[in-house]
Structure 1
Amino acid sequence: MGKAARKKGPKAGRKPKVRDVFVARPFEGLAAEPEMIALREFVPSATAALTLRDDPERKVTLGTVLPMAAAALVRSDGEVFLGMQVQTRSSDISRDLGRSLRWALEAKPGAVLSVPDTTSEPVEGERLQDLLAADAALDVRLHEDFSWWLAEDTEPTGEIAMSLERANAAIMPTERLSPGAYWVLAGAKAHLRWVWSADENRLLQALARLSAAGALNLGEGTRYAGSFRAHGLLVPVWDLDPEAHAREWIEPAKQLGSRLESALASLDDEPLNAAERRARDGLIGRQLTLR
């Protein structure tokens, strides 16, 4: 009895160990998953208010890029900022962001976390899914520059000023058409990049169904360019007329979204036919790399 008790005692007081494994879909379970992927991967300058699960009144702002690509900072006016686009990552981006968020919530005004903690042993309760209200959507606000880095009436100096200048110079005109769907003017070309939360295989089948029907576009002069994978989800991309204003694509994108939703629903009752399977095989080969 004594030996058994001694073996049990230390284990009883230990925290459960969390395995450090690669998480292919780090934002799964959050209603804002498509928006977070867009802000992480290709939206240049944007902010969105986060809703903390245990303190919904606390003001926390999610930003695409912070000064010097910092992981988090507390501005001089006390507002907490969490950066999505950083230089380093671990096997679980959600954990990196959660750790940075927890640091910022306890830091003093003016404090900056240059890089996320990617080396500490994983523990329970530190991912974004543990800290944020899972059902809260993101009200994304796009900006023409990065002036939101600074508190009101603050002038940038030193490295912050240089970082601000470089970041502003790299911005490509971007507009949000709907949740997860962004128009971007990339040089002489315009694109629609659309993050879908649907299962990749089902989404490919739905895209193929529309392609075989000649309905995988946003109207004359547009075409489906391909897709890329980002954090466990498929992101289809369309080429658009660069002369048209972003607002002109809101309604065509809405109609395309409705067609895709209908195609996804139809998969439960009607498998792909031969023409649609050929279309799917063609779509699989059209993988893109963002530059």
Structure 2
Amino acid sequence: MSRRSAVKNKAKAPDESGIGPRQPCPCGSGKRYKACHGSAGGVVEVAVARPFEGLAAECELIALREFVPSGTATLSLVGQEREVTLATVLPMAAAGLIRADGVAYVGLQVQTRSSDISRDLARAVRWALTAEPGDVLTVVGPDTDAGDKPERLQDLVAVDAPLEAVVHTDFTWWMPEGSEPTGEVALSLERANSAILPTERIGPAAYWVDAGERAHLRWVRPEPEEDLLAALARLHARGELGLGEGSRYAGSFRAHGLLVPVWDLDRESHAREWTDAVDQLGTRLDAALASLADEPLTSDERRARDGLLGRQITIR
């Protein structure tokens, strides 16, 4: 390697933070890292492991943020007259949008984010409360903070309020009824609709997704990971971890501090055909979790847990 190439590659390499100089800065400013917190004297904040902790809607928020393609839910804002709707993704992955008819949206799946997604959402909500029809918030950053103390979503909503998520088959809700998209919005809408995976909510934070060759159940669980894995292992050792014929436990992935178990399902069965099985599995899982306090895992259950630990998956 020539000296010039070595110097060039070194300049592009991530620093000790693990962030490349040309990547978006994790503060959510929209700038490249090298021009923001990666500059001399810059400070990179440690990412908040559970940004939605303390909210009754934590599991639903994670599902909408991570794998639900098209979904909306009205936020239970405290002391605010204007209604703000949470959306999985908005045109061009914007952080906020006020439709021409005045409906206010904030997006979860955005272009850039800081070390705290909850703080980003609070910034977007504050913007949406005063923005005008047609306004778009492309990214959030420190300049959108209200006051000296940055707010978090937990400061703006009723923490004990559930989130009633509505799953849509496409993204036509981006536009007011009867209007036609044009320009970049029309292109973004076409691309989004063509890439959407059929998805249905079949239980609290439990979503059926048709991924092509197979369907899946992705279920965000609120329990601490160690307890949940132990309960899953107990069911697995008893042969009770499945959802019936045509199902198989595939593994799990971590998302924002919680574990998301995943089952492969026969896609020939309609999503609603799995609802009862999910309810029954939930009952078995709750019983297994309750039994952990008085009944330590047996040797067979510990071996089952070790096997489950190795079954980490990646969603696409």
TM-score, normalized by length of structure 1?
0.90
Does structure 1 retain, via aligned residues, the 8 Å contact 2:59–2:220? yes
- Residue 125 of structure 1 and its aligned partner are, at CA, apart by 5.1
Q: Helix, strand or coil for the counterpart of 1:94?
A: helix
Q: 2:101 aligns with which of 77, 97, 101?
A: 77
Counterpart check, 1:279 vs 2:304: yes
Partner residue, 2:90: 66
Q: 1:158 aligns with which of 183, 197, 202?
A: 183
- 1:100-111 to structure 2, matched below 5 A, reads 100-111=124-135
CA distance in structure 2 between the partners assigned to 1:30 and 1:150 by the alignment: 30
Percent identity for Structure 1 against Structure 2: 67
CA distance in structure 1 between the partners assigned to 2:285 and 2:111 by the alignment: 35
CA distance in structure 2 between the partners assigned to 1:172 and 1:228 by the alignment: 19
Distance 1:119 1:225, change over 3 A: farther
- Residue 239 of structure 1 and its aligned partner are, at CA, apart by 0.6
Q: Helix, strand or coil for the counterpart of 1:115?
A: coil
Does structure 2 retain, via aligned residues, the 8 Å contact 1:40–1:84? yes
Does structure 1 retain, via aligned residues, the 8 Å contact 2:123–2:144? no
Q: Which has the higher contact order (CA 8 A, sep 6+)?
A: 1
Does structure 2 retain, via aligned residues, the 8 Å contact 1:89–1:118? no
Does structure 1 retain, via aligned residues, the 8 Å contact 2:127–2:144? no
Distance 1:23 1:196, change over 3 A: same
Specify every segment of 5 or more residues in structure 2 that has no aligned partner in the other structure, as ranges.
1-43
Counterpart check, 1:269 vs 2:294: yes
TM-score, normalized by length of structure 2?
0.83
Partner residue, 1:290: 315
CA distance in structure 2 between the partners assigned to 1:145 and 1:222 by the alignment: 27
- 1:250-261 to structure 2, matched below 5 A, reads 250-261=275-286
Count of aligned pairs between the two proteins = 272
Does structure 2 retain, via aligned residues, the 8 Å contact 1:100–1:117? no
Does structure 2 retain, via aligned residues, the 8 Å contact 1:212–1:279? yes
- Residue 118 of structure 1 and its aligned partner are, at CA, apart by 5.8
- Residue 59 of structure 1 and its aligned partner are, at CA, apart by 1.3
- Bigger mean CA deviation after superposition, 228-237 or 70-79: 70-79
CA distance in structure 1 between the partners assigned to 2:219 and 2:190 by the alignment: 29
Does structure 2 retain, via aligned residues, the 8 Å contact 1:125–1:131? no
Distance 1:275 1:118, change over 3 A: farther
Distance 1:78 1:119, change over 3 A: closer
- Residue 189 of structure 1 and its aligned partner are, at CA, apart by 0.7
CA RMSD of aligned residues (A): 1.6
Q: Which runs of 4+ in 1 moved over 4 A?
A: 118-123
Q: 2:138 aligns with which of 104, 108, 114?
A: 114
Does structure 1 retain, via aligned residues, the 8 Å contact 2:89–2:110? yes
Amino acid at match of 1:83: G
- Bigger mean CA deviation after superposition, 194-203 or 75-84: 75-84
Counterpart check, 1:177 vs 2:202: yes
CA distance in structure 1 between the partners assigned to 2:244 and 2:54 by the alignment: 34
Amino acid at match of 2:242: N
- Residue 58 of structure 1 and its aligned partner are, at CA, apart by 2.7
Distance 1:123 1:35, change over 3 A: farther
